Structure formats: structure tokens, C-alpha cells
Structure 1
């Protein structure tokens, strides 16, 4: 009996094994399910942990080690160095090297001591942002000098600061010329943490600062935490203060490295989606998280391709380098390549533990009318944004397409997702400046933004996963987009546009009640109508046969015109009614 059972068990085991090894082909129908299962966040978090150990500037030790770690992990995933790859290779990478115009910089150590007190005012081991970027080393014994507190920086030019340490509550850049070049001060000590960092709560945080590179005077500057600033001011109130400053930095010639990985499309390889993640910055969330998420996205995609589970029609590119500089070069140095970059996405501060940092995950939209008239649920972050003009608008389906994907993941994972009007300041800007649709994924407000308390304990592996998962879902959808994708996108865009116009009607009614002009409200409605009409038309870039979706686009345009006309008419009636009520009240 046992002899009969054993062959049966072996056969059953073989069937189970074959079932487990069955190839699952990824498609629009299962992107979310499969990627949610496969994207673990392990590589993203491990990479973030590695990168955040270093204070990173282009060309310095930490920056370059990050580049070569990425290269090593890409090779583990199956990417081939471009110069060694044949023309049929789907997975390639390259490291671009360029001489730096200026030398690179890195901090090594520093201590700041008041009046020879036993406990330092600051030390590099606990505050690695204390040394301003481009500061030179002091002599080995340090510099000992009197501190002068400049309470009114307008008076700085009238004071004798030669050989003394200037202390002011402002940016070191702002007083550098007056104090160092003209005043011959021994050095600078400054404090200017903005309110959104909650300095009275996060008393040890220092937001990193910089001074101009000066190879002649070889200056230095120290940035203070709130606690150190208060302690120094208290000492100054008690009398003359002598500080000993000991700084060690490295400033040396180097080269700028950028690493670019390509996953070649099998049908329209010239067309591409580019994810950009900058390496420089001193923190964990900013931007070791972007580096880590991009690396796991590239590695998982390579895994799907090796297992023949996913084949992109268009090319997927990942770029790691120096913020804005590397991305700008990528979209400018090759005009033919730039012409075929269909989308650019910036991964910046994408792994936050918001219970610790505050804020929320944000999609910074391409310029739309909310960047001109910011009202209702649209709000700028505390990073801030300037009011834009109509001619600066960038109508495109990308905004609402990505918002829809991230909101769906938010619902699935109980994860809060929000948006903000365009503000700029990251790798999405060079794309937009070259008329390439682009958005920013980030978090704000972050109470540890650019401070030396932005460390790995502020990073959430769950957030890294959610951002990476949704970014891949969106990317795969765009890379393999066709006529059906375009039609679905138009239908979803219609719903969003109708909701937006109705929301703007509500906001306009509130504005009219406040006494705002009817002409302004009509202009707002018209701007949104036009923005969406143009956005519908941009879906034509997803199809080879434009006639296949012209009917849907025309219908969407007509719907926008109709709704906008109804809203305008309703607002005009509202204004007349308001004016009539005001007249009656005046007569009585």
C-alpha cells in the first residue's frame, strides 16, 4: 500500500511545484495586486539606511559610495554596464563622470566650546549639520576669540569685528561679505531655524547652512541649534564670551557622478518615463528615501522581466544624481532624447514616518489654476509657492492620472495621500521647463526638514512601500498605454473635471458673497474649463491612431463647455440677486 502512495505523493508534489512556478503575466487588471505582493520595501529601506549615514555633496565620499552601491545592486538585479551590453540588452546602466568646476566638500569633525567649559556648546558627533557647507578647517588647536552678538545686522558694517567671531540670528550667507570679506571677522556663528521646524520643541535640530566657497580667506561658519543659541545668549548676558572653535573638513578636487539605468521598451523604445532621485543632501528622508525607492523599483522591474512576467512597450529610466543639475543636463544635452521623454517624476522625501515628522504624503501637481487661485481644499505647503500666471499653466492628464492611482493605494493601505499646487524646488522643474509633463512626490511639512535630526528613525518602511508600489503601478500603466488606456483615462478625467468645476462653483459663490468680482469668478471657471479641455487632448500621445479616441475627446470638450456655461450663468444670476438684496437693504 505504501509503495502505491509514494508515487502518488511525488506526482502531487510535482503538480504543486509546477503550479507555484507558473508565470503570471502582469497587466492593467493585476498590476495593483501583484506589485503589492512583490514590492517588500526591504531594498528601499536597506538602501536608505546605507545612504543616510553620509553627508552627501556631489563628488564627496558619501555621494560616490552611494553611486557605486546603486551600481552594485543594479548588477545583482541583472543590469549590465552599458559599455559591455549588446544592442539587444533590455537592462543596462551607465555611470557618467564629469570634472567638478569647484572642489567638493565634506565635514569631518567639530567642537564649539564656551569659555573653556567642560561641556561643549556643540559637537559634530551629535550635530553633523553644525558646520556650514564650504567651511574650511581651523588650525589644529582651533580658533579662540571673543564673540560679538549682532542684534541688528544693519549695523554690522559700522562695527569693528576684525579677529572676532560674529554671532547673528540670520543666514550666514546674508552677512558673509560684510563680516568676513570686509570686516575680517574670525568666523561666523548663526541661528535661523524656521518656525515650521518647531525649534522650541526640537531644540537640538540644526538646519544645514552654507557659505560661499572662498579659497583665499578660507572662512568657516557654524550653525546653532535652538538650545545652543539660547545657551550662548545667556552666557553673553552674563558678560564677555570667549569661544573655542575647532573644525575639520575636507575640500578637494573631484568629479561629478550620475548613474542612469534603462529598461528598454520592446515596441517604442525611444519613448520613455524617467524617475529622478537626487543623492545630495545630508538627511535620511531627504533624500536617501528617494534613492532607495527608485532602486527597489528598478530591481523589481528587472525581476519581472527576467521571469517574463512584464514587457514594457516604452522605456523606463531611473536617474540618480545631483538635484536639478543632473536632471537638467539629462533633458538638455540630447535634444532627440528629450523630445521622446513623455513623463518625468521626481522621488524626493518619499519615505516619511509622518507620526514623527508631521505633514502628509503629497503629489505636487503640474501647474494648474490652483497655482493661480489657491482656494478650497487646495493649499500650499509651508515650503511656499509664488502665484503663477495663465501662460505658465501645463495642462495634462498626468496630474489626475497619478492622483487617482495614489488615492486608490491610499484606500487599499489606509494611507493618507494629498496634493499641493506647484511650488518648484526639485527634479520635476527641469522637466517642466522643457515642456515635459512632470510631478513631484514628497512630504511636507516635515519638522526635521534639512536638519541633522532627519535620520533613519524618521523613515517608515510602510511609506517607502506605498510610494514604490503606486509609482510602479502608474509607470507600468503609462509604459504600456494604448487606446483602451486613453479611453479609460478620458472617462476618469471627465469625472474629475466635473467635480472640479462644481467645487469651483461653490468657491465662487462664497467669493461673491464676500463681495469679490464676478469677472474674476468667471475667469477662474474659464481657466479650469480650458485647462481640462487641453488635458483631454494630451491623451492623444498615448495612441498611434489619433482617430481612435477623437470621439471621446470631442465629447469631453463639449461637456466642459456645457458645464462651464451653466456655472457662469448661475454665477451671473447669483450676482444679480446679491446686488438686488443689497439695494433693498440700502433702501430700508
Structure 2
């Protein structure tokens, strides 16, 4: 869709709704947001962005930045350099030099010599070319394929002026293949959760080092292409012709940041973060689109006087992890005011197609040490954490509760997973800022060239965006009532958790597990929730307002813990 038409679609979706003066205390945030959040803006943006293979600095990445800027401006945001003192809706594009060239694919094909039909071509498999791969000569490269089945095979074969093929991660093969004079490599390495024997044409994108050999190229194979190549190699000597055209050129790194300035506590803020790069639709054009619609609706509600924001709400789009980390680290004074971070990554899946489930990846809690019962890691997986890495905070149960409310309203499945990392929530946590991730997994098209717009659901975008924006509106307006609500929620959740963990521990002891270890699990959860209770005071200027309720909740949790402790170690 062309940008001009898209902007009309984006802005037009925000023009409905009535204007009425509502006091902040009585606002039904869900009622307000649901009136406006249709998912049309998010879906249209996703559709635009996913057309591009996006790498920092390249055409697709930069066009996305400019689309966001145009859309924000249409929604009332003012470019910071043109803003006047009273402007509360502002945005800026940050520009930084890059120490390496950007990259983008143009075209590619792979033929087996003697076969009429291409083994692969970029028109249908746009992930076939390794990221950072150079171009071949325009006439292509024709060479014999050498099939290796382990790294040990490399010691006994000649690769000079040949193409190496292996079913392994290309990073394992790269340096050795170059040293032995190979022209390029063909690899197959699709994990089982992609269901490659079902999704036979999928290719999960792969990359060479950014400062790679100027002539060595890589092509990743689908399961179907791999099987055809293996069948040919089994019969004897096989040659292929590879054509690759890519672009490498100097560019700049762009990040876009939009703010709705808080009215009473402008230096305190919530930061939403969505990364632009990667070639997929769900990953992460959906995060880009959902966050844009959130920013536009929030602006509309503030501009029309339907809501007020006490604290600042910030929306950041850029390079995954890098842009978010820089935002936190480059301005220590600003960082002190970041109270919460929420990452939107893969938030629009049509789960009946992808097989994914919407997940809230929690801040580190004891389920990331002892993963059992209803707590389950995704297929992405997570390392066992330590007690020192725990991050007790009300944000976990607040976000889960808020999203479950939307789930109940919309008959939408909301689940959680223990902390695993790997996205824009990690810079927040590393800076001791409460932060978590909104995402989907398992996705049988994750990082593949089948992650396209037909795998995206406008309904899911609406659900995620609605719950995420409502959560944010509650956070930036949080005060004593909010703190009391979180204390009540944490008390309830803690008592349920202690009971569940006790039941699991009794079962474990009956199976021969060490009672002392089981008690340590129960103790960890008690300590985590008591610390989380104290975190509710971060929205208060006068903590005495909630002291009675806080102490009461702590006493109930301690009592429950002592009861279960006696039963566990009797």
C-alpha cells in the first residue's frame, strides 16, 4: 500500500468517539480504549512494514521510520525541534553514524546444473540469502558441491573453488570453509518447532558476520530444497549455479521516539519499545504497528480531554535491544525516571495458523529457577536463574491481571512464561527497571520467509494493543488507589502461589526429593511476594497512605508461609 493512502487509513481509524470531560478518578480505561482500538492501524502498518527485509540503515528500516514519523505527525505529535513550550505531544528522529555498511537483498536463485526448475529463488524464498552475503558476479557462480556431514570431514576434503553443503549452523562452518578456499556455502538448519517436514518451503533467516569475507556467500535451504539436493548428491557429483545480488552501502542508524508529556510528574515515565529490524510480519512488524496505534489513540484521548496523564508515556522504535539500551544509558537523569518498560515483539499472530500462544514473559521470579506446575518455558527456552537475578515487582501480576481481563472480555487466550530474555525487555531489567515482554510462541513460522501478512490477525493486534495501552494508562496515572489495588492483588496471588508450591513440594517429597530443597522453593516465593508488595510504594509520595494494607498483606503471607513450612518439614 502506498504511504499516502496508508496515512489516510491510519488517521481515519482514530476519528470516531465522543468528546466528554471525564474526571481521572472515574475513567473506565478499557471502555475508552475499546471504542477506538480497532486494530486497523496496526494491521495496515504491519502490512506496509513486512514488505521489506529490514536491517538497520537499509531502505525498509528507514522507510518504516519515516512512515511512523508521518503517522505520528498526522495524530498530532510535533517534531521536537519545532515544538513550543506548551506542546505535550512530541516526537524526534535520532540519527547516528554507522561503523559498518548496511545491507539489503535484491535477488537470488539457486539451480542444480542439469535441472530445469530452480532449486530456490528469492521471489518465493526471500530468506534464502544469508544476511550480509555479498553479490556473486552477474553471470552467477557455477561450482561443484561438497557435502560434509561433520566438521571433522573438513580435514579430509578439498573445498578450493567449490561450494560446501552441510546440515548445520553456518556459523560453525564459516571460518573453516573460507580457510579451505570455498566459494560459498549451502546450509540447512531448521529447528523442529518449525515443523519443517510440514512447512517444507520455509527458510529461517541466517547471517554471516557483518564484516564478512568480501566474496564468500551463503544460501540457506528449505527442507524441500535440502531433500532435493541430498537426493542429487547421493547419486554422484553435483554442480550448482548460484546467483545473488545484494547491496551494501554507507548509511545511518535511525531511532524514533514519541512522548506524551505527563502533566504533574513529567520526569517519570513508562517506555514502550518495539524493534523494527528482521524480515518478518509477526516478527516484528506487528510490534511496530500495534505500538503505533497505541501512540495515536493515546494522543487522541489526551488531546480531546478524555484522559489525563500524570506521568510521561514514551514510545520507542528502533534496533532491537540496542536502541532501548541506548535510550536508558545515554541520559542518566532521564533513566532515573523510567519506572516501567514494556516490549512488544511478535504481538499479532493468527494463532490458528501459526500455532503460537500469546504470552506475557514475566520479570525474573522463582519460576525461572524452579519451573514446574503451570509454569512452562516456551520452546525458545531459558537458562536456570539464580536468586540474585530475581526482580520482585508488582508489574508481573498487574500486567497479567490486566491482560486476563481483556482475555475474558474477548474470549482470547493469555498465558505466561518464565523469564527467557532475548528482546527489548532485557535492557530495562539490566538497568534495574521493571520490564517485561509481550509476545507469541511457539510459532511454526518464526524467523522464516513464511512469516507474512497472512499469519497476522487484526483481532489479536486489537487485543494486545488494547490491553497494553490500558495497562500503560493505569501505570502513568498510578497513585494510592492503584497501590492499594496492587497490594490486594499481590496478597491474593501470593496465597495461591504458596498453596500451589506447597502441593507441588509434597508431591516431590513423596517421589524422593529433598524436603530442604522444597522448603527453599516455598521460601523463595514468600520472599519474592513480600518484596513485590514493597514495590507498590514506588507510585506514592506519601507511603503512609497504604502502610496498614501493606502490613496486613505481609502478615497474611507470612502466616500462610509458616503454616505450610510446618507441614512441609514435619
Q: Deviations over 1:298-317 (max 9, x none)?
A: 00011111111111000000
The match for 1:413 among 402, 405, 410 is: 410
1:108 paired with 2:116, answer no
SS at match of 1:320: strand
SS at match of 1:138: coil
Q: Deviations over 1:326-377 (max 9, x none)?
A: 0010000111111110000000000000000012100000000000000000
Deviates more, 1:388-397 or 1:541-550: 541-550
Q: Deviations over 1:370-389 (max 9, x none)?
A: 00000000000000100000
1:157–1:179 contact (8 Å) kept in structure 2: no
Match of 1:156 in 2: 154
- Taking only aligned residues, the RMSD between alpha carbons, in angstroms, comes to 1.2
Residue-pair matches, total: 554
Match of 1:49 in 2: 47
Q: Deviations over 1:103-140 (max 9, x none)?
A: 11100000100014211000000000000001000000
Deviates more, 1:544-553 or 1:124-133: 544-553
- Kindly state the Cα deviation for residue 449 of structure 1 after the two structures are TM-superposed: 0.2
Could you tell me the TM-score, scaled by structure 1's length?
Answer: 0.93
Report the Cα distance in structure 2 between the residues aligned to 1:456 and 1:49, rounded to whole angstroms.
6
SS at match of 2:415: strand
The match for 1:479 among 476, 479, 482 is: 476
Q: Deviations over 1:219-239 (max 9, x none)?
A: 110000000000000011121
- Within a 5 Å distance, the mapping from 1:68-467 to structure 2 comes to 68-180=66-178, 182-214=179-211, 216-467=213-464
Match of 2:549 in 1: 552
1:157–1:178 contact (8 Å) kept in structure 2: no
1:26–1:34 contact (8 Å) kept in structure 2: no
What are the ranges of 5 or more consecutive residues in structure 1 without an aligned counterpart?
1-18, 574-588
Match of 1:518 in 2: 515
Q: Deviations over 1:22-44 (max 9, x none)?
A: 44556565111121121111100
Q: Deviations over 1:442-499 (max 9, x none)?
A: 0000000000000000000000000000011111111111111111110111111111
Deviates more, 1:72-81 or 1:210-219: 210-219
Report the Cα distance in structure 2 between the residues aligned to 1:166 and 1:26, rounded to whole angstroms.
65
Deviates more, 1:236-245 or 1:271-280: 236-245
Residues 22, 314 of structure 1: CA spacing in aligned structure 2 closer, same or farther, 3 A cutoff?
A: closer
Residues 567, 20 of structure 1: CA spacing in aligned structure 2 closer, same or farther, 3 A cutoff?
A: closer
SS at match of 2:118: coil
Q: Deviations over 1:239-283 (max 9, x none)?
A: 111100000000111100000000000000000000000000110
Residues 241, 207 of structure 1: CA spacing in aligned structure 2 closer, same or farther, 3 A cutoff?
A: same
SS at match of 1:450: coil
- Kindly state the Cα deviation for residue 174 of structure 1 after the two structures are TM-superposed: 1.0
Q: Deviations over 1:274-294 (max 9, x none)?
A: 000000011000000000000
The match for 2:58 among 60, 67, 77 is: 60
Residues 334, 21 of structure 1: CA spacing in aligned structure 2 closer, same or farther, 3 A cutoff?
A: closer
Report the Cα distance in structure 2 between the residues aligned to 1:297 and 1:217, rounded to whole angstroms.
43
Residues 408, 57 of structure 1: CA spacing in aligned structure 2 closer, same or farther, 3 A cutoff?
A: same
1:258–1:326 contact (8 Å) kept in structure 2: yes
SS at match of 2:342: strand
Report the Cα distance in structure 1 between the residues aligned to 2:526 and 2:82, rounded to whole angstroms.
51
Report the Cα distance in structure 2 between the residues aligned to 1:481 and 1:194, rounded to whole angstroms.
43
- Kindly state the Cα deviation for residue 216 of structure 1 after the two structures are TM-superposed: 4.8
1:100–1:253 contact (8 Å) kept in structure 2: yes
2:134–2:214 contact (8 Å) kept in structure 1: no
Deviates more, 1:492-501 or 1:363-372: 492-501
1:25–1:308 contact (8 Å) kept in structure 2: no
2:20–2:306 contact (8 Å) kept in structure 1: no
Report the Cα distance in structure 2 between the residues aligned to 1:423 and 1:68, rounded to whole angstroms.
32
Report the Cα distance in structure 1 between the residues aligned to 2:193 and 2:472, rounded to whole angstroms.
33
Report the Cα distance in structure 1 between the residues aligned to 2:372 and 2:539, rounded to whole angstroms.
32
SS at match of 1:259: strand
Residues 27, 73 of structure 1: CA spacing in aligned structure 2 closer, same or farther, 3 A cutoff?
A: farther
- Kindly state the Cα deviation for residue 214 of structure 1 after the two structures are TM-superposed: 4.0
Report the Cα distance in structure 2 between the residues aligned to 1:340 and 1:234, rounded to whole angstroms.
60
Residues 28, 103 of structure 1: CA spacing in aligned structure 2 closer, same or farther, 3 A cutoff?
A: farther
Residues 103, 20 of structure 1: CA spacing in aligned structure 2 closer, same or farther, 3 A cutoff?
A: closer
Bigger Rg over Cα = 1
1:64–1:257 contact (8 Å) kept in structure 2: yes
SS at match of 1:328: helix
Deviates more, 1:188-197 or 1:547-556: 547-556
What are the ranges of 5 or more consecutive residues in structure 2 without an aligned counterpart?
1-16
Report the Cα distance in structure 2 between the residues aligned to 1:51 and 1:118, rounded to whole angstroms.
34
1:567 paired with 2:564, answer yes
- Kindly state the Cα deviation for residue 527 of structure 1 after the two structures are TM-superposed: 0.3
SS at match of 2:542: coil
